[in-house]
Chain A
Amino acid sequence: MKRRKFNLMLEIKNLHANVNGKEILRGINLTVRPGEVHAIMGPNGSGKSTLSSVLAGNPVFEVTEGEVTFEGKNLLDLAPEERSCEGIFLSFQYPVEIPGVSMVNFMRTAINEHRKYKKQEPISASDFLKLMREKREVVELDNKLASRSVNEGFSGGEKKRNEIFQMAMLEPKLAILDETDSGLDIDALRIVANGVNKLKSEHNATLVITHYQRLLDYIKPEFVHVLYKGKIVKSAGPELALELEEKGYDWIKKELGE
Chain B
Amino acid sequence: MIIEQQYIDLYNQAKGMINRHSSDVLNAPREQAFADFQKNGFPTKKSEEYKYTDVSEFFNLDYGFNLNRLAVPVDPYEVFKCDVPNLSSLLYFLVNDSYFAKPGVGKSLPASVFVGSLKDFSEKHPDLAAKHYGKLAKTENDGIVAFNTVFAQDGFVIYIPKGVTIEKPIQLVNIFRGDVDMMSNRRLLIIVEENAEAKLLSCDHTIDEGRKFLSTQVTEIFVGKDARFDFYEMEENGVDTCRVASTFVSQEANSNAVVNSITLHNGRTRNNYEVTLNGQHAETHLGGMAIVDKTQSVDNHTFIDHAVPHCTSHEMFKYVLDEKSIGAFTGRILVRKDAQKTEAYQTNKNICTTADAKMYTKPQLEIYADDVKCSHGATIGQIDENALFYLRARGISEKEARMLLKFAFMADVIDNIRMDAFKDRLKLLVEKRFRNELAKCAGCSGC
Interface residues of A (CB under 8 A from B): 56-60, 79-81, 83-85, 90, 92, 95-96, 98-101, 105-106, 109-110, 113-114, 117, 149-150, 166, 170
**In chain A, what residue has the closest Cβ to B400?**
A109
Q: Is the CB of A81 within 8 A of B392?
A: yes
Q: Is the CB of A90 within 8 A of B393?
A: yes
> Which of B179-187, B369-377, B402-410 makes up part of the contact surface?
B402-410
Residue B386 interfacial (CB < 8 Å): yes
**In chain A, what residue has the closest Cβ to B397?**
A81
Interface centre among A85, A110, A149, A166 (most CB of B within 10 A): A110
Interface centre among A105, A113, A170 (most CB of B within 10 A): A113
5 residue pairs of the A-B complex, CB under 8 angstroms, read A59-B385, A81-B401, A98-B387, A110-B395, A170-B395
Q: Mark B392-434, 1 if CB is under 8 A from A, else 0.
A: 1111111011001101111110000000000000000000000
**If A98-B408, A100-B409, A109-B404 touch, does A58 touch B389 (CB 8 Å cutoff)?**
yes
Q: How many A-B residue contacts, CB cutoff 8 Å?
A: 80
User: A149 to B405, alpha carbons, bound, how many Å?
Assistant: 12
Which 7 A-B residue pairs are closest in the complex by CB-CB distance? A100-B408, A100-B411, A84-B395, A80-B392, A96-B390, A110-B394, A113-B395
**If A101-B404, A101-B408, A113-B400 touch, does A96 touch B394 (CB 8 Å cutoff)?**
no
Q: Is the CB of A99 within 8 A of B411?
A: yes
Q: Is the CB of B394 within 8 A of A84?
A: yes
Q: Is the CB of A98 within 8 A of B391?
A: yes
Q: What are the residues of chain B within 8 A of A85 when measuring CB–CB?
A: 395
User: A58 to B398, alpha carbons, bound, how many Å?
Assistant: 12
Minimum CB–CB distance from A189 to chain B (whole Å) comes to 23
**In chain B, what residue has the closest Cβ to A107?**
B394
**In chain A, what residue has the closest Cβ to B392?**
A80
User: A96 to B397, alpha carbons, bound, how many Å?
Assistant: 17
Q: What are the residues of chain A within 8 A of B387 when measuring CB–CB?
A: 96, 98
Q: What are the residues of chain B within 8 A of A60 when measuring CB–CB?
A: 385, 389
Q: Which of A57, A100, A114, A150 contacts B393 (CB 8 A)?
A: A57
User: A35 to B279, alpha carbons, bound, how many Å?
Assistant: 72
Q: Is the CB of A81 within 8 A of B411?
A: no
Q: Which of A100, A106, A150 contacts B412 (CB 8 A)?
A: A100
Q: Which of B385, B396, B408 contacts A113 (CB 8 A)?
A: B396
Q: What are the residues of chain B within 8 A of A90 when measuring CB–CB?
A: 393
Q: What are the residues of chain B within 8 A of A166 when measuring CB–CB?
A: 394
Q: Is the CB of B395 within 8 A of A105?
A: no
**In chain A, what residue has the closest Cβ to B385?**
A60
Q: Which of A59, A81, A149 contacts B395 (CB 8 A)?
A: A81
Interface centre among B385, B392, B393, B408 (most CB of A within 10 A): B393
Q: Is the CB of B392 within 8 A of A79?
A: yes
Q: What are the residues of chain B within 8 A of A109 when measuring CB–CB?
A: 396, 400, 404
**In chain A, what residue has the closest Cβ to B412?**
A100
Minimum CB–CB distance from A149 to chain B (whole Å) comes to 8
**If A59-B389, A95-B390 touch, does A81 touch B404 (CB 8 Å cutoff)?**
no
Q: Is the CB of A80 within 8 A of B389?
A: yes
User: A250 to B385, alpha carbons, bound, how many Å?
Assistant: 37
Minimum CB–CB distance from A49 to chain B (whole Å) comes to 13
Minimum CB–CB distance from B434 to chain A (whole Å) comes to 12
Q: What are the residues of chain A within 8 A of B395 when measuring CB–CB?
A: 81, 84-85, 110, 113-114, 117, 170
Minimum CB–CB distance from A106 to chain B (whole Å) comes to 7
